[in-house]
Amino acid sequence: MSTKHKIILDVDPGHDDAMAILLAYKSPAIDLLAITTVAGNQTLEKTTLNTRRVCTVAGITDVPIAAGCDRPLVRPQTIADDIHGESGLDGPRFPEPTVPLDPRHAVDLIIELLMKSDGDITLVPTGPLTNIAMAMRQEPRIIQKIKHISLMGGAYGFGNVTPSAEFNIYADAEAARIVFESGVPITMVGLDLTHQAVATPEVVERIRALNTPVSEMSVALLQFFASTYKKRQGFDAPPVHDPCAVAWVIDPAIMQTKHVRVDIEIHAEFSYGRTVCDLFGDSPRPANALVATKLDFGRFWGIMLDALKQYK
């Protein structure tokens, strides 16, 4: 009987998405069933190519990679090239990808895996929630089949793409609203948590010391990420957001959470994409998410390094 957590990772690489893939694939606590891609940090074409690039370097050849939605449900597409660069994964030099793309659409693959499951699959979206929302609309029966959603997105403090909104939610707030109102148990790993998961120079040197192709790629990714986060948002070390959503699945005790009501703003001019987190329990609406607040920094980088050490 496997005690591994079965997950589907939905990504928009993205430097931190790449680190989430590396963590999920080698963590002993995770059974990575599929990687699905979505438009987000860059276009779908680029996020999908980047996923294949990372998996090629990492030797991840036994996990299906399926491309999903190429635009948000309603709003115009927005990208984060100011942080992730023109390719969406600037920094490392990549070989031509050899890992193939699964011919199925990501939404169809998500539905297929969930419908044939025993209800034991956790979805881990680390980009806009377009694929997840589309799957819920295309096949509502999956709602009862999703064990949990651990997502990177939102914030109860400041946003990062507007003062109110975090990128993954802002890039498709209508999709986020569908997901947060679905009734599926959610862990919201937002900026309040992920801004604690910074790749300090000491952490980067621990990764560099592994001296493998994956560690070399990771260092190049983190160095570029550090440069844009310093330039754009004044960070001394870059917040590595997306692996935090995987880390909660691996070890929920790695972060403190609070079960609260979260509503997604989709109408307001200045706060579109805001995750309105009712931390004080005043809302008449039922709590729908575990909102992450405090990270065990040492344990987080410990599981990350343990996973990176598994790549040869």
Contacting residues toward Ca ion, per CB under 5 A: 12, 14, 17, 126-127, 242
CA distances (Å), origin 121, targets 7, 56, 86: 5, 25, 34
Among 5, 46, 145, 241, contact with ligand RIB (rule: CB under 6 A): 241
Among 16, 108, 172, 192, contact with ligand RIB (rule: CB under 6 A): 16
Q: Determine the Cα–Cα distance for residues 32 and 152; give it in Å rounded to an integer.
A: 17
Task: Label residue 153 left, alpha or beta by phi (over 0 means left) and psi (-120 to 50 means alpha).
Answer: left
Residue 166 in the binding site for ligand RIB (CB under 6 A): yes
Q: How far is the CB of 226 from ligand RIB (least distance, A)?
A: 14
Complex with Ca ion: residue 17 or 192, whichever CB lies closer: 17
Contact in structure between 159 and 165 (CB atoms under 8 Å)? yes
Task: Label residue 192 left, alpha or beta by phi (over 0 means left) and psi (-120 to 50 means alpha).
Answer: alpha
Is 12 an active-site residue? yes
Q: Choose the stretch contacting ligand RIB; rule: CB under 6 A; options: 47-55, 162-170, 264-272, 288-296.
A: 162-170
Q: How far is the CB of 84 from Ca ion (least distance, A)?
A: 9
**Pick from ligand RIB, Ca ion, none: which does 167 bind, CB < 5 to 8 A by kind?**
ligand RIB
Question: Which listed residue (12, 16, 17, 242) is catalytic?
Answer: 12
CA distances (Å), origin 49, targets 26, 32, 61: 21, 19, 14
Sequential DSSP letters for 108-142: HHHHHHHHTS-S-EEEEE-S-SHHHHHHHHH-GGG
Which residues are the active-site residues? 12
Interface contacts to ligand RIB, rule CB under 6 A: 12, 14, 16-17, 40-41, 80, 126-127, 152, 160, 166-168, 241-242
